Amino acid sequence: MFENLLNNLRTLPFRWRVVLIDTLLIPVAWFLGYWLRYNMAEIPELFLAQAINVLPLVIGMQLCSYVWFGVHRSEWRFVSLPDLSLLIKSVFFGVLLVALALFLVVRLEQIPRSVFVLYGMILAVAMASFRMGYRLLKDQHFASRTAGKKVLIVGAGSAGEQLERDLRRNFPERYNVVAFVDDDESKIGNSIRRVPVASDIVGIGALVDRWAIDLVLIAVPSASDEQMQRIVDLCGDAKVAYRTLPGVHELLTGKVSITDLRNVRIEDLLGRDPVDLDWQSISHNIETKVVLITGAGGSIGSELCRQIAAVRPKELVLFEQSEYNLYAIQEELAENFSELELRCVLGDICDAVLVIQVFDKYSPDAVFHAAAYKHVPLLEGQVREAIKNNIVGTKYIVDAAIDAGAESFLLISTDKAVNPSSLMGACKRAAEMYCQAVAEQTKTRILTVRFGNVLGSAGSVVPKFVKQIEKGGPVTVTDPDMTRYFMTITEACQLILQANVVGEDGRIYVLDMGEPVNVAYLAEQLIKLHGKTPGVDVEITFTGLRLGEKLEEELFYADEVLTDTDYEKLLLAANRNIKAGKVREDVDVLIEQVSAAESSRLRGVLCKLVPEYSHEGGSAQNH
């Protein structure tokens, strides 16, 4: 019978066991108070009988005080001075309630007044001793444990609970989960499989010091960029390693599991809310069609390939100039989408003969034109190649799409095409204009999607900063006031697909990039993500504006009034008036000059085609 009782007690939640212990201490303290009052001698029978009679009232009043002060919400393993102070207040407030109740009920007859003082002191000491003793035992227990890294999990929700369970089941020798932290006050003081929710997130530093935590695991897949930034800063201040779970989108798509921990990335800190897309219409728009992607091995092109492959097109044609990039994306798609009809074309979009052959052979229904040269300072000295690839190549692709009877053609453009100060931006603006010019004369639906920088894309600022940080610095930033719009590759490609579904012929769509990000701030966050301190471990130096660069980029012209579409973050820019015939003539002149290798005249023709372009570069073009 006694064993059964013990087993039943063990099955109780820890908090109820605490309540039971504190309740049992009340009669113990009550009778000890009497015993001490009578000098540890026998208690007179009359007084003992009264003590027994009023005991239920004493227990009831004392428990009411505990509930009022929330004594049982604190976790014994992490009991601290504030917890003990609260405990003492609850005990002595309870003593006052007991005295008042007994006065009203029995007029304190056969109850010595000194018993109240002795009872309160004994009860407070007993409760505090149990708590401190439990903490000391646990401290000794955890200090003596050597198996695995001591882990603190941020987030006591379903993700954190599942992570703790999977770590315990699959990696018992590698990880020892010590505690959770969570900002939900209702969870603090509870436990998850005997692992306590010790404090709110602000307590990370204190817990790291107290338990010598080796690793913090961030189990908040839905955290906003501000929340993730706060957690990362607290981990950085505590000088502790940290990892995070994949985001909600990755978990929902099944690409990763709950135990696929990874480093916190800059996307987590500068990320945005998930895009709410109409995947049904996107799938319907793609699944029965032959899709061709130029620049298929590049950052944007390869992500487009992945997302389009996931909705099972009839056929996917990859057009790529880099042999290795084409090989890499082909291998990836073949492995992950084994039933996909995949076609690979190794070649240059500026090879007019090859382009015509490809379109004649595959007759694509939808064309996504992602191929482009995009490195601003480098292209300033490469006039012929920049114009040849970004303008002439675009002309060849869009003309071939029209001649092949493609249903849609989508040009991927850039914010640098707005009031361009760089050769790259001017070329992309010219490409936009040509697409708008030919859209008036064809049944092919021709669209342009314009957006800013893509985090982590090849040649972008993030990989450059990472390389500099890994070398120990310095991290070179153009100007302390420079800002840029940033978007993740995944988000950009999703919005491109949505634009391809709903886009109207000849229109330019602008992706809502949110607020611009200070590039110096971006550098600081990347340094912190590498566990270093900006200005101490890694210096940030400012180099000054390079040719073609602006301090601030723009997403649309003043006369391109933006209007909302039915889809969040996808905006429609009002068409600017262009002379379609003149645009086509100027592009033909550019082709003649490129063919004749007349580089000296090319920039002048480009300035005529894009009159807002000035190629002086530098600080004069910043505002």
First to last CA, the chain: 85
Are both 103 and 239 inside the same structural domain?
no
> What is the DSSP track for 467-516?
HHHHTT-PEEES-TT-EE-EEEHHHHHHHHHHHHHHPPTT-EEEE---S-
- Radius of gyration for the alpha carbons in the chain, expressed in angstroms and rounded: 35
For residue 371, tell me if it sits in a domain: yes
Token duo for residue 332:
């990836």
User: Which residue range forms the structural domain that includes residue 175?
Assistant: 145-264
What is the predicted pLDDT for the residue at 372? 92
**241 and 343 co-located in one domain:** no
Q: Are residues 155 and 109 in the same domain?
A: no
- Predicted local confidence at residue 102, as pLDDT: 86
Question: Do residues 175 and 121 share a domain?
Answer: no
Residues 52 and 12 in one domain: yes
Q: Which residues of the chain have pLDDT under 70?
A: 1-15, 72-81, 135-148, 169, 246-277, 456-460, 514, 554-562, 564, 567, 598, 615-623
Tell which of 93, 109, 141 closes a domain.
141
Q: Quick check: is 27 in a domain?
A: yes
Residue at 272 is within a domain: no
Helical axes 519-529 vs 225-238, angle rounded to 10° = 50
Nearest residue to 221 via CA among 165, 169, 154, 152: 154
Give me the helix-helix angle, 45-53 and 14-37, nearest 10°.
Answer: 160
130 and 173 part of one domain: no
Give the end of a domain, one of 141, 159, 189: 141
| Residues 164 and 117 occupy one common structural domain | no
Calpha distance 577→559 (Å, rounded): 10
| Residues 550 and 401 reside in one and the same domain | yes
CA separation for the pair 423, 443 (Å, rounded): 31
Task: Pick the last residue of a domain from 264, 290, 315.
Answer: 264
Regarding whether 201 and 125 lie in a shared domain, the answer is no
Is the domain of 65 the same as that of 207? Answer: no
pLDDT of res. 127: 84
Residue 273 lies in a domain: no
Distance of alpha carbon 554 from alpha carbon 452, whole angstroms: 9
Whether residues 358 and 343 fall in one domain: yes
Residue 396 belongs to a domain with what CATH number?
3.40.50.720
Q: Same domain for 24 and 110?
A: yes
Does residue 271 lie in a domain region?
no
Number of domains in the chain: 3
Tell whether 442 is covered by a domain. Answer: yes
Token pair 């003969």 is found at 353
- Is position 274 within any domain? no
Q: Report the C-alpha gap between 8 and 12 in whole angstroms.
A: 7
323 assigned to some structural domain: yes
